[in-house]
Amino acid sequence: MPHSHYETITTPDGDFDAFCALPETTPAPAVLILQEVFGINDNIRGLAERLADAGYIALAPDVFWRIERRFERKDESGLADGFARLQQLDFDLVPGDLTATMARALAMPECNGRIGAVGFCLGGTLAYLFAATARVDGRGPDAVVSYYGSAVNQMLDLAPRVECPVLFHYGANDPYIPTEKIDEVERAFAGRPDVVLHRYDAGHAFSNWDAPSMYDEQAASTAWPRTLSFLEKHLR
């Protein structure tokens, strides 16, 4: 079992928590795990521990900390609560929080100086935002994986600022992200061989094993090895 604890992330307007899972062997690359609207819950902690098992330092920042610290809901029953927090989320402040988390990860003695991110749902959008905006001492992340980020296509003006390799996962039957929106993302990165986009015969949140009506085992079990392979290629 990976060793886990909470790290304190410092920003100009306050501190917040990030769940951290450490691999058995360090120094190692760090990967930010970016949350769904359910918060840092069992699913996100489980994903962090999976990444630690794969040899990465996993750090999951509490994105809703200004609204409600350590907010978490388990499954679909918490969607309304999650969306209510999402509507209060100040997207102008989030990039600073993600950059602060990146800086903290790079400063950890266990980190070897390589860093990436994997985000789901809300976190899929935040992973894209992280790729475009997070810079520490002039350098950005080394690789980012975005699962079904529903607002990515609203931020395609940031595409030229995405300097690192990116892997996008989308459900072809996602009620929140119609095909034409996925097509827009694909077109925005056409000609970028380091940007890969996969579509699955699945709906939204297909990776979340705590949300039975959304979870699609076949899609999830295809996307996760692709995610690990992508991180291995760019962070090792």
Element (H, E) at 16: strand 14-22
Question: What letter represents residue 35's amino acid?
Answer: Q
| Residues recognised as catalytic | 121, 174, 204
Strands across the sheet with 195-200, in order? Answer: 3-11, 14-22, 57-61, 28-34, 111-120, 143-147, 166-171, 195-200
* Distance between CA atoms of residues 197 and 186, nearest Å: 7
Q: Taking the CA of residue 10 as centre, how many other CA atoms within 13 Å lie in the half-sphere pointing to its CB? A: 2
Residue located via tokens 């990515």: 152
* Distance between CA atoms of residues 173 and 144, nearest Å: 23
DSSP string, 125-180: HHHHHHHHH--BTTB--SEEEEES-TTGGGGGGGGGG--S-EEEEEETT-TTS-HH
Q: Taking the CA of residue 208 as centre, how many other CA atoms within 13 Å lie in the half-sphere pointing to its CB? A: 32
